[in-house]
Amino acid sequence: MPPSLFSRLFGSGPSEFKLQINTPDLTVTAQAKESLLLAALNQGIAFPYNCRVGGCGECKCRLVSGKVKELTDKSYLLSAEELKDNYILACQSLPKSDVVIEVTLREGAVSHPMVETSARIAELQPLTHDILHVRMQTEQPLAYTAGQYAELVVPDEAGTAAGKGRSYSFATAHDATRPNTVDFFIRKVPGGAFTEWLFAKAAVGQWLTLRGPYGDFCLRPSANPIVCIAGGSGLAPIKALLEQAIRDKQANRPLVILFGARTQQDLYGLDAIDQIRRNWTGRFVFEPILSNEADGSLWKGRRGLITDHVTAILGERLPDHHAYMCGPPPMIDSCVEVFTQAGMPSTQIFFDKFLDSGHAAHPTP
Ligand code: FES
């Protein structure tokens, strides 16, 4: 009998191994076909990570003993010293034996076990011409931290959730009184299979599969002033994070929100921002900045790119701020450059690059 695809890829050895993280008391089971990162996250361990596809380097850890199969080249993300010290990317490493790794776990991070659950579309509401507010009711309750995201999968014709998921940030802070309700702001991506389906065919009552939560973009406790920068549908996690800040009694921190959009028609969520303003006890500044508004329009606000204005808005205290950003990669990269050049330590800069095709899908072998 010809070997199955699985056995050709992974051999026909054991299907699960032990994964020890730092100390023997933190040992979990890792399936041969899942990454070390997924094994840890599935069991609620606060493992550092972000992209899940070998692109950010945040899941790097030292392989102390055991063998792994590495799915991608890690040399462009790790330094020569890290490579020499046997560092690997947990999201790109499948166990080939029992494995021991060392990693600095996310301090103070709340980890929620990942769930895969059916989720019914409960509400669809256009926010702009190309952004939909999608409310879903999940079959299983779901806990998450504001700033995290979930993966949505449309069932295939056979009704299974085998398809590639698209990932979207939760648009509201988790509400323990309605643990089965989740909200997303989803922007239509021309040619994007998931959003083409969503905008053309999705209807209230349809069922999808939801996996999550993922990501470690979340508000860090501190007394420092906050600058939040959102581009397009990147407003979702920023809104959630600020709602969480109000609940966590961090609303006395000075706050600047910069919301980048193309034109006035692309601005949305202003009521929600006003609601945050009403509950914010510290200094509150909100500046929408339009990059493509017609010259002769009645718009009296700021025009151009966020980087054209951020230094003037934050003033001398710019380096004291903690920056939280979500939006397209060029916007985030240019803001990071402005902040670091102005002296903001990189430990105060947090972001979630919001890729048009969604965040990364599950790493698949
Ligand atoms: Fe980004 Fe592994 S490289 S999570």
Encode pLDDT of 319-330 as tens digits.
999 999 999 889
Closest ligand 1 atom to 50 CA: 4
Q: Which of 201, 122, 185 is nearest to 150 (CA)?
A: 185
Residue 205 in tokens: 């009552």
Write out pLDDT tens, residues 109-119.
557 878 899 99
287 is a domain residue: yes
* Residue 360: pLDDT band with limits 50, 70, 90: very low
Beta strands 302-303; 284-290: pairing state:
parallel
- Final residue of a domain: which of 55, 79, 102? 102
pTM comes to 0.78
How confident is the model at residue 154, as a pLDDT?
A: 84
Look at residue 110 in the predicted model and tell me its pLDDT.
Answer: 57
User: What is the model's pLDDT at position 362?
Assistant: 27
Separation of alpha carbons 259 and 290, rounded Å: 8
Residues with Cβ within 8 Å of 4's Cβ and at least 6 positions away in sequence, in order, are: none
52 pocket-lining for ligand 1 (C-beta < 6 Å): yes
Q: Report how far residue 168's alpha carbon sits from residue 360's, in angstroms, rounded to the nearest whole number.
A: 10
363 CB less than 6 Å from ligand 1?
A: no
Q: Is 111 in the pocket of ligand 1 (CB under 6 A)?
A: no
Helix then strand then coil, in percent of the chain rounded to 5, is 25, 30, 45
Residue 57 reports pLDDT greater than 80 = yes
Q: In this structure, which residue's CA is closest to atom 3 in ligand 1?
A: 54
Structural domain contains residue 221: no
56 in contact with ligand 1, CB cutoff 6 A: yes
Strands 207-214 and 115-126, how do they pair?
Answer: antiparallel
| Distance between Cα 217 and ligand 1 center (Å) | 13
Helices (H), 11-123: 36-42, 80-84
pLDDT for res 341? 96
- Per the structure, the count of domains in the chain is 3
Is 343 a domain residue? yes
Q: Are residues 232 and 352 in the same domain?
A: yes
pLDDT in tens, 214-250: 887 889 889 999 999 999 889 999 999 999 999 999 9
Q: CATH code at 52? A: 3.10.20.30
CA 363 to ligand 1 center in whole angstroms: 10
Cβ–ligand 1 contact at 57 (below 6 Å): yes
Q: How far is residue 219's CA from residue 112's CA, in Å, rounded to a whole number?
A: 16
Rounded-to-integer distance, Cα 45 and Cα 38, Å: 10
Per the domain annotation, does 323 fall within a domain? yes
Range of the domain at 350: 226-357
- In angstroms, what CA-CA distances link 220 with 70, 146, 261, 349? 32, 11, 26, 11
Q: In what order do the strands lie in the sheet with 207-214?
A: 166-169, 149-153, 207-214, 115-126, 131-138, 181-187
Pocket test for ligand 1, best of 34, 41, 52, 101 (most atoms within 8 A of CB): 52
Ligand 1, atom nearest to 91 Cα:
2
